[in-house]
């Protein structure tokens, strides 16, 4: 079974960079597209077998505009392992009123593309969304 690794290097409005990755059992272009709808950052490099450079990134200056701000989304696999997808510089509408808990309805597009496509390192496919929470890297 082939495992695809999609790496994204993000830039925020402050010029800070951060790299995240997602594993899948097929190309992760649709997951990548869905993640882009949930972030205020923009990617400067992405790779899945080759590098693609965004020569004109357009990050958004918003509430959570730094790539250190993140929404950690947790998924359960067929083997009952947990897979995490991190959305950097997340849009504020991603969260419930407490601005900490991820609202599952706000990530419906990502969930639809991730389930069955995203895998853990052993190749076990994601089957359900467990939940998500806002955090900040470096705390």
Rounded distance between C-alpha atoms, residue 52 and residue 23, angstroms? 18
Does residue 137 surpass a pLDDT of 90?
no
Rounded distance between C-alpha atoms, residue 64 and residue 108, angstroms? 20
Q: Model confidence over 45-101: pLDDT tens digits?
A: 888 864 455 779 999 999 999 999 999 999 999 999 999 999 999 999 999 999 999
Q: Model confidence over 96-111: pLDDT tens digits?
A: 999 999 999 999 999 9
**Beta strand pairing status for 69-77 and 4-11?**
unpaired
Does residue 1 surpass a pLDDT of 70?
no
Mean of pLDDT over the chain: 91
Predicted pLDDT at 139: 55
- Widest distance between CA atoms in the chain: 41
């Amino acid at each position: 079974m082939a495992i695809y690794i999609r790496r994204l290097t993000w830039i925020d409005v402050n010029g800070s960079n951060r790299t995240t990755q997602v594993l899948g059992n097929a190309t992760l272009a649709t997951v990548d597209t869905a993640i882009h709808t949930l972030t205020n950052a923009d990617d400067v490099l992405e790779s899945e077998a080759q590098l693609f450079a965004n020569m004109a990134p357009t990050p958004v200056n918003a509430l959570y505009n730094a790539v250190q701000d993140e929404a950690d989304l947790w998924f359960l696999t067929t083997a009952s392992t947990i897979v995490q997808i991190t959305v950097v510089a997340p849009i504020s509408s991603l969260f419930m009123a407490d601005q900490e808990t991820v609202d599952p309805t706000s990530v419906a597009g990502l969930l639809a593309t991730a389930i069955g496509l995203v895998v853990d390192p052993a190749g076990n496919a994601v089957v359900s969304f467990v939940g998500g929470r806002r955090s900040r890297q470096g705390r």
